[in-house]
Structure 1
């Protein structure tokens, strides 16, 4: 009697263990139109495997002419279904996309899909469509990496890429990067870009430790300059002394301060000619003008004793002077600007043109590119003219050659 009571107390103390020992739920026989089950029972215990096949003219809605399902605690691993034997399953095409079927995971006979390769990839053979015929896809195209695509951009010390990571980047793609705090490039802004061109990345401007320019530490007392040609300056913003006292003359000019802002009304120091008239402004070494003027999308490509030479990045053109000089009063001459000289087009927005390629394409000003079409020996053309895109329909390449295409 004592043992029975003790057992009852143990059961009440561990109700979870009692519940865990309860039998798993069984599965009811599934409904299957156009097929049969083996073995055919009313219920199936947990863990039971049930095989099924379909009648003539049909096949399981999974790969193979038969299929199996498993009962898992009252639920089947999938719902058995029979479909027309000429139906095609969704193809597995690496590095590609295609239209989804309105019927779910399979395509009816006669369905045509258009395969679009991912950015940085191209079709292995001519043609970008496949047709479902008697349960299989005819001429299913594949995608391989394009020879003009690039790997991930090379590591840039003290910088971070601002765009999403990818293993492969398409040709002409722009990738932006930014220097970490306290670092920058020699000129312009800390935000820069590199482009994928013919399988290689363009050179990235290095991110270097920023150095404070003259006056950045709060010293406003001025400093000595090092004028050129033996002339003597009296300090930042001061006058210059020529062969005789009082012979210097100032001319009103717009300069650029060390922070890159315009210094309207700043008068660069000048030297007189033999008649006493104003001559050329007095120049100083570039170190006396502090930080280089900022030119967005441009870089200093050559440094001389008193001047800087600028060039614009790829896909930009220079407007204004190529050379910037340092005046003896600590200001720069007016720098150039870099104006956009490219067009950008997203081919995904031109599906009606039947191009094979997809994604973004960047063209330089006055550049024309041929784009292969889904039909053999047919191409379209995209051009960049005065910043505007011009697109032509697919045409036989010989007609393009003879200029019979619009």
Structure 2
């Protein structure tokens, strides 16, 4: 009887506890203001904030929104000095260190380009100057990079995530399907990116010797 009563109490108590955990407390926002101002915010509720003169939100624009999600704000409302810089989104690269919410005036940071891309910046660094990054981060494709390789009949690329661009000297291994081999007693091979082109792969040939098996290979090739 006691156990049943305790179970009923828990069933009545847990939803309230979970709902309370999903609430957000109002953010502590200095040098700015937000609406609506409430004692607590429900899951999914959004507030809007702006900053005092000489400051700006830590996201793009002179005003910003943040939403209560499972007890936390989608970004912590914050106002930073107007001379600071927000991180830039740029293609085919990233910041060397973990990206921060904002960077102070005159602060520098390095960028790293993705595989197959190079930066034209001499030092690889960009600097925040009165709210603007200089020079702008750009990652350009290397002239010796390769596109993703073409199809190799009866084979699949192994141990490598397929990408759109590969750097010079990138090496990809492939494995032939069951019943096929590439070369003498090998089940696969490798191709290498050399000066913008992939080396020629060894063909995956039928390794079965008797007539029935050979016919099975021929049937597979017609599919």
- Give the alignment's TM-score, normalised by structure 2: 0.70
Equivalent position to 1:145, from 136, 141, 165:
141
Please state if 1:206 is matched with 2:203: yes
Q: Describe how 1:1-12 pairs up with structure 2 within 5 A.
A: none
Give the structure 2 partner of residue 63 of structure 1.
60
1:152–1:68 Cα change, 3 Å: closer
Instruction: Extract unaligned runs of 5+ from structure 1.
Output: 1-15, 214-406
Give the structure 2 partner of residue 119 of structure 1.
115
Contact 1:101 1:107 in 2 (8 A): no
Deviations 1:287-329 (A, max 9, x none): xxxxxxxxxxxxxxxxxxxxxxxxxxxxxxxxxxxxxxxxxxx
Please state if 1:96 is matched with 2:93: yes
Deviations 1:274-296 (A, max 9, x none): xxxxxxxxxxxxxxxxxxxxxxx
Q: CA deviation at 1:142?
A: 1.0
Give the structure 1 partner of residue 127 of structure 2.
131
Contact 1:148 1:198 in 2 (8 A): yes
Q: Distance in 1 between matches of 2:38 and 2:29?
A: 13
Deviations 1:317-353 (A, max 9, x none): xxxxxxxxxxxxxxxxxxxxxxxxxxxxxxxxxxxxx
1:48–1:202 Cα change, 3 Å: closer
Q: Describe how 1:152-171 pairs up with structure 2 within 5 A.
A: 152-164=148-160, 165-171=162-168
Q: CA RMSD in A?
A: 3.3
Instruction: Extract unaligned runs of 5+ from structure 2.
Output: 1-11, 211-223
Q: CA deviation at 1:67?
A: 1.9
Contact 2:188 2:204 in 1 (8 A): no
Give the structure 1 partner of residue 220 of structure 2.
none
Please state if 1:187 is matched with 2:184: yes
Q: CA deviation at 1:139?
A: 0.8
1:180–1:107 Cα change, 3 Å: same
Q: Distance in 2 between matches of 1:120 and 1:30?
A: 43
Structure (1/2) with the larger helix percentage: 2
Give the structure 2 partner of residue 52 of structure 1.
49
Give the structure 2 partner of residue 302 of structure 1.
none
Q: Distance in 1 between matches of 2:185 and 2:176?
A: 12
- Give the alignment's TM-score, normalised by structure 1: 0.41
Q: Distance in 1 between matches of 2:128 and 2:63?
A: 21
Q: Describe how 1:7-406 pairs up with structure 2 within 5 A.
A: 29-38=26-35, 40=37, 42=39, 49-70=46-67, 77-100=74-97, 104-123=100-119, 125-127=120-122, 128-164=124-160, 165-187=162-184, 189-210=186-207, 212=209
1:93–1:48 Cα change, 3 Å: closer
Q: Which has the larger radius of gyration?
A: 1
Give the structure 2 partner of residue 305 of structure 1.
none
Q: Distance in 1 between matches of 2:205 and 2:190?
A: 16
Contact 2:95 2:111 in 1 (8 A): yes
Higher relative contact order (CA 8 A, sep 6+): 2
Q: Distance in 2 between matches of 1:47 and 1:156?
A: 49
